[in-house]
Amino acid sequence: MTKKFYFSAQAVLLFVCFLAGGSSLWAQSDPGTSDDGFLVKITSPASIVQTLANDVQNCGWVGSSFGPSVTSNFCGDVVWALPDSVGCNPFPAGSLTGKIAMTRRGGCNFSLKVYHAQQAGAIAVIVTNHYTGLYDGPCLAKNADGSLFFGGMAAGDSAAAVTIPSIFIQRFTSEQIDGALKNGETVNVCFSLPKATDAAAAYHYATPVSQVDTLDHLGMRMTNRESSTLFNIGLKAVVETPGGSTTTLTATVDSVAPNANVYTYFPAYLPPAVLGKFKVTYTNDFYTAPEDTLVRYFEHTPYTFATDNLVIDPGGVANDASFADADFFVQSGALCLTNEAGGIATHATFGLANADAIYIDNPLGAENDINVYLYDMDADDDGTWDVSNDGTGTFDDLASGFVGYAVYQVNGQEGVDSLISVALDDFNNPGTFEIALKPNHPYFISLSYDGVEAGTGIMPRFSNTLDEFYLNFPSTMLHLGDYFSGWGGAIVIQRLQLKGFDPSVKTKTVPNLNVDVQLTPNPASDILRVNLDFGQMTSKATVSLMNGLGRVMNSQLLNNFQSGQLTFQVNDLPSGTYLLSIRTADGVAIRKVSVVR
């Protein structure tokens, strides 16, 4: 069955801008190389020939945030910038003329290294990692706190003076280059702008076999790197099933102006409802270099929705500096689309790589809580996604579609990247742990952590896989709060499991709290009165008013409390749906609150 997607006007505008033919794919007017989208190709010697993608992981390259963009292809021979290769002091005049200079990370800011190489005649600079950090690996550079090296090469004092492009590569690649140079071989590297990019296949990498549906957004982008307009470019997508049979889809790009690009969809494709991995190979009949053949995969699983690729990339993803900038709150989300049969959700799956670092001994309340939320993104069933979009892709009011949740309490003993599966409780029918999913419907499974109470400043390092490409809409990566479902080559593992899924390890979540809650008025406009009755004296309780993302807006701590009334001022809150959380050592209770003006 063909899926129909409807969005708010702003969301539609964002979608159209992303896909519009002739639009600029990369922000090459911005400083630096980080968003230029080129490939780095080692073309000689034959022993190390390879193509490096713009990927913070998997031995890819990372760009700079200063200097010029790469707007045309160029090549050069790589040489070490000597005498010290660090680049914090000037190199001898003319010693790097016409060369791509290679320097080492550390000692001074990146822009100073590049400026010194530029002054010595270099046409570009490759900065290499060399295990200066405790957590660095052969194909992965990390920050001092162990988080992924997302930022690329930041600008420094010399940034304004830099006029040549620069990139950062991983240790393993530089060792290959260094070995060839020591053998007296010429190492040639080309910076090459790709022509075929952004191949998209399924809406989520993994789809339960019971939810298989027509794929309407198989597509790819073609960019014209010629000096004249291209006409009638033939495109082909060959889908190979787990059993080896193939289906060929074709499309035609009518025309592409020079330095423009066009995104083109193939005809809709209904994959057979069989278990296993599908492979999609994308080609075109004009550009035939190896990098212009693209491959994507998707899988049909027994019970699992996942935007990640089901293969854990060790170490997790986090960024403590960004976490602090976001007032110690993080939330991510992953899309799950049902077919006409609908389904029943029972569990969510995620993982942590640093549970021991975020764990708090003797917690008073929610310090160790990881919140897992399930949202219905069309709660009123009007065919329009309930997205409050301000043009940036953020979602401000999700609580109206709040249908299921689990609160997982970190115990500090979780194995690194050991996956955790928690039972999801039905918000509208507590204690059933089965949530009916409507047919042909969008849902988001989400992880949320508020680190204010914990006070460690350490962000949970959620387990991840390497990146999978999705269109902005109607698939992931959709922004939730201050973060989204993946960063710089990584996608957070946040899977939704359907009925029949049996986790190998049963995990304990915070139980439902037995408490009588009366909210008046609800909807509220100025004051919300909360009448609580625990039935017996409770030593401590935290009552929090949260927005739809699970972020605390106002909180009250109760000591030696049995029953009574609390008040929350809501006159300074925007209209919308909120969540009231009552948390004690015995469990948690959540209620919806409406604020109207």
pLDDT digits 0-9 by tens, 456-471: 999 899 998 877 888 7
Residue pair 61/54 in contact (Cβ under 8 Å)? The answer is yes
pLDDT at 189: 97
User: Using CA atoms, how far apart are residues 162 and 181, in angstroms rounded to an integer?
Assistant: 27
Residue 19: is its pLDDT beyond 60? Answer: no
569 Cβ contact list (under 8 Å, min separation 6): 526, 527, 554
pLDDT at 392: 41
User: For the residues 390-399, what does the mean pLDDT come to?
Assistant: 54
- What is the per-residue pLDDT across 214-237, written as a single tens digit (0 to 9) for each? 999 899 999 998 999 999 999 999
Residue 8: is its pLDDT beyond 60? Answer: no
User: Using CA atoms, how far apart are residues 223 and 193, in angstroms rounded to an integer?
Assistant: 9
How much of the chain, in percent, has pLDDT values that exceed 70? 87
Closest to 164 in 3D by CA, of 213, 190, 125: 125
Q: Is the pTM of this model over 0.95?
A: no
pLDDT at 347: 97
Closest to 347 in 3D by CA, of 315, 379, 302: 302
Higher pLDDT among residues 13 and 596, named by residue: 596
pLDDT at 497: 98
- What is the per-residue pLDDT across 37-46, written as a single tens digit (0 to 9) for each? 888 999 999 9
- What is the per-residue pLDDT across 244-296, written as a single tens digit (0 to 9) for each? 999 999 999 999 999 899 999 999 999 999 999 999 999 999 999 888 999 99
pLDDT confidence of 53, banded at 50, 70, 90? confident
pLDDT at 437: 98
Higher pLDDT among residues 563 and 313, named by residue: 563
What 8-state DSSP symbol labels residue 130?
A: -
Residue pair 164/122 in contact (Cβ under 8 Å)? The answer is yes
Closest to 47 in 3D by CA, of 141, 170, 168, 182: 182
583 Cβ contact list (under 8 Å, min separation 6): 365, 366, 369, 510, 513, 541, 542, 543, 544
pLDDT confidence of 370, banded at 50, 70, 90? very high
pLDDT at 486: 47
Residue 201: is its pLDDT beyond 60? Answer: yes
433: how many CB neighbours lie within 10 A of its CB? 17
Residue 587: is its pLDDT beyond 70? Answer: yes
Residue pair 400/20 in contact (Cβ under 8 Å)? The answer is no
What 8-state DSSP symbol labels residue 506?
A: -
pLDDT, averaged across the chain: 86
Chain position carrying tokens 């060959």: 238
Q: Give residue 575's Cα distance to chain centre.
A: 29
Residue 515: is its pLDDT beyond 90? Answer: yes
Degrees (nearest 5) of the Cα angle 279, 284, 286? 160
User: Using CA atoms, how far apart are residues 109 and 87, in angstroms rounded to an integer?
Assistant: 10
Higher pLDDT among residues 413 and 383, named by residue: 413
Chain position carrying tokens 């109206």: 400
For strands 343-351 and 435-437, give the pairing: antiparallel
pLDDT confidence of 132, banded at 50, 70, 90? low
- Highest mean predicted confidence (pLDDT) among 121-135, 170-184, 531-545: 170-184
Higher pLDDT among residues 507 and 210, named by residue: 210
3-state percent helix, strand, coil for the chain, nearest multiple of 5: 10, 40, 50
Residue 15: is its pLDDT beyond 50? Answer: no
pLDDT confidence of 20, banded at 50, 70, 90? very low
- What is the per-residue pLDDT across 405-432, written as a single tens digit (0 to 9) for each? 999 999 999 999 999 999 999 998 988 9
Closest to 464 in 3D by CA, of 488, 496, 497: 488
pLDDT confidence of 375, banded at 50, 70, 90? very high
Q: Strand locations in 170-265, DSSP E?
A: 188-192, 196-200, 206-208, 219-223, 230-240, 246-256, 261-265
Which strands sit side by side in the sheet containing 369-376, from one edge to the other? 329-337, 442-450, 369-376, 402-409, 425-426
pLDDT confidence of 320, banded at 50, 70, 90? confident
The DSSP result for 36-74, as a single string, is S--EEEEEESGGG-EEE-B-SSTT-BEEBSSS----S-E
Partnered with residue 373 across adjacent β-strands are 405, 446
pLDDT at 148: 61
Chain position carrying tokens 């739809």: 548
Low-confidence winner among 3-12, 145-154, 305-314, 586-595 (lowest mean pLDDT): 3-12
- What is the per-residue pLDDT across 531-541, written as a single tens digit (0 to 9) for each? 999 998 887 89
User: Using CA atoms, how far apart are residues 416 and 356, in angstroms rounded to an integer?
Assistant: 9
What 8-state DSSP symbol labels residue 515?
A: -
- What is the per-residue pLDDT across 86-112, written as a single tens digit (0 to 9) for each? 999 999 999 999 999 999 998 999 999
User: For the residues 173-199, what does the mean pLDDT come to?
Assistant: 95
User: For the residues 486-513, what does the mean pLDDT come to?
Assistant: 82
pLDDT at 505: 65
Low-confidence winner among 303-312, 396-405, 429-438 (lowest mean pLDDT): 396-405
Residue 133: is its pLDDT beyond 80? Answer: no
